[in-house]
Amino acid sequence: MDQTEKKRQAAIAALDYIDDGVTLGVGSGTTVHQFIDALAQVRDKIAAVVASSWDTQSRLEAQGFEVSDLADTGDIDLYVDGADEANKHFQMIKGGGGALTREKVLAAASRRFICIIDDSKLVGTLGAFPVAVEVIPMARSYVARQFIRARGQPILREGFVTDNGNQILDIHNLSIPNPPEMESRFSQLAGVVTVGIFANRPADVMVVADGKAVRRSER
Ligand code: 5RP
C-alpha cells in the first residue's frame, strides 16, 4: 500500500473522534488534506472550525466550511494534525510544511490533540527529520549561529515565507535526546518565533496507519 493511501486511512479514522457540537482545529500537510476531503461526512457535527494555515483555510472553504478565527472561538475541543516524526511519548517534529507556528498555537489551545500519521513517521529518537525553526528575517544569521554551536546544520528554506511573514531555518543532524528541554531552550533564542519540536504539548492520541490496520493509542 502506498503512503498516500496510509495517510488517507489514518485521516478517515480521525473522524471517529469528532463529537456533536465540536470546535475543531485543523492542521496542515498532505495527511490533513485527506482529512479535509473526508470532513464533509461529519459536517453537521462541527460547530466551528479553525485553520492552522492559509492552505488549510482555503481547502476548508473549498469544501464549504466557514472558517473561524481562534481569537473568536476560544479554546478548541479537538485538534487534528499530522507530523514529520513521532516517538513513543507522543512527542513530534512538525513544520515540514512550514506551518509550525499556527500549528503550535492550535495544539496549545486544544483540549485534545489527535496526531494522524503513517507508520514511516514513527521513530525511536526524534531528529533524523530536520527541525524547522521559524525566525524573524533579521535574526536568521544570529539564530543559525546558535544552532551551529549546538552541532546542528542550519539551512535556510530558500524562497519560502511563512504565513506570518517570517523565514524557516531547517536544522539538520540535531541530536535530540531530551525533546522537551530542547524545545524550551531553543524557543528562548532571541528572534526565534517557533521551534518545530512539539514535546511540551505532545499529542493525546496517535492514529497510525501501517497499510494493514489503523492503530490508535492514547497517552
Ligand atoms: C506542516 C506539518 C505537517 O503536519 C507535517 O509536515 C506532516 O506533513 P504530511 O502530512 O504532508 O506528511 O507539520 O507544518
Domain coverage including residue 115: 3-122+200-214
106 CA to centre of ligand 1 in angstroms? 14
Is the pLDDT assigned to residue 169 strictly greater than 90? yes
SS3 11: helix
CATH of the domain at 45: 3.40.50.1360
What per-residue confidence (pLDDT) applies to 137? 98
User: Which of 204, 203, 149 shows the shortest CA–CA distance to 171?
Assistant: 149
The predicted model gives 2-15 an average pLDDT of 96
**What is the total count of domains within the chain?**
2
pLDDT at position 21, please?
Answer: 97
CB atoms inside a 10 Å sphere around CB 100:
29
108 and 139 fall within a common domain:
no
Any idea what the Cα angle at residue 134 is, between residues 50 and 125, rounded to 5°?
90
Does 219 fall in a domain? Answer: no
Which pLDDT tens digit goes with each residue over 53-94?
A: 999 999 999 999 999 999 999 999 999 999 999 999 999 999
pLDDT of 1 above 90:
no
Residues 95 and 174 grouped into a single domain: no
C-beta of 10 in contact with ligand 1 (< 6 A) = no
Same domain? 66 vs 14: yes
161 lies in the same domain as 69: no
If you write DSSP's letter for every residue of 23-38 in order, what string do you get? EEEE--SHHHHHHHHH
Please check whether residues 70 and 140 belong to one and the same domain.
no
Residue 58 falls within a domain, yes or no? Answer: yes
152/180 same-domain check: yes
The CB of 97 under 6 Å from ligand 1? The reply is yes
**Whether residue 189 has pLDDT greater than 80:** yes
Q: What confidence tier does 32 reach under pLDDT thresholds 50, 70, 90? A: very high
Q: Known catalytic residue: 85?
A: no
196 lines ligand 1 (CB under 6 A): no
- Whether 184 lines ligand 1, by a CB cut-off of 6 Å, is no
> What is the distance in A from the centroid of ligand 1 to the CA of 10?
13
In a domain, 111, yes or no: yes
CATH no. for residue 175? 3.30.70.260
Residues 6+ apart with CB under 8 A from 141: none
Q: Does 208 have pLDDT greater than 90?
A: yes
> For ligand 1, is residue 95 a contact (CB within 6 Å)?
yes
Check pLDDT > 90 for residue 18.
Answer: yes
pLDDT at position 15:
98
Are 96 and 13 found together in one domain?
yes
Q: Which of 85, 103, 134, 183 is catalytic?
A: 103
Residue 100's SS3 state is helix
Task: Give the per-residue pLDDT at 175.
Answer: 87
114-140 pLDDT, tens digit each = 999 999 999 999 999 999 999 999 999
Question: Are residues 99 and 204 located together in one domain of the fold?
Answer: yes
Residue 158 confidence (pLDDT): 97
Type of residue numbered 108: A
142: in domain = yes
For 43, the 3-state DSSP assignment is helix
Query: Based on the domain organization, do 30 and 56 belong to the same domain?
Result: yes
The grid cell for 49 is: 472550525
Of the residues 28, 118, 168, 198, which should be mutated to test ligand 1's pocket, given the most ligand atoms within 8 Å of the CB? 28
Q: Which long-range contacts (CB under 8 A, 24 or more apart) does 142-149 make?
A: 142/190, 142/191, 143/169, 143/189, 143/190, 143/191, 143/192, 144/169, 146/186, 146/189, 147/171, 147/174, 147/186
Alpha carbon of 96 to ligand 1 centroid (Å)? 5
In this structure, are residues 31 and 117 in contact, taking their beta carbons and an 8 Å threshold? yes
Q: Please indicate whether residue 92, judged by its CB atom, sits closer than 6 Å to ligand 1.
A: no
User: Do 61 and 91 reside in the same domain of the chain?
Assistant: yes
Average pLDDT in the chain: 97
Q: What is the mean pLDDT of residues 154-166?
A: 98
* pLDDT exceeds cutoff 90 at 113: yes
The answer to whether position 75 is within a domain reads: yes
Do residues 141 and 111 both lie within one domain? no
pTM over 0.85: yes
Rounded to a whole number of angstroms, the CA Rg of the chain reads 17
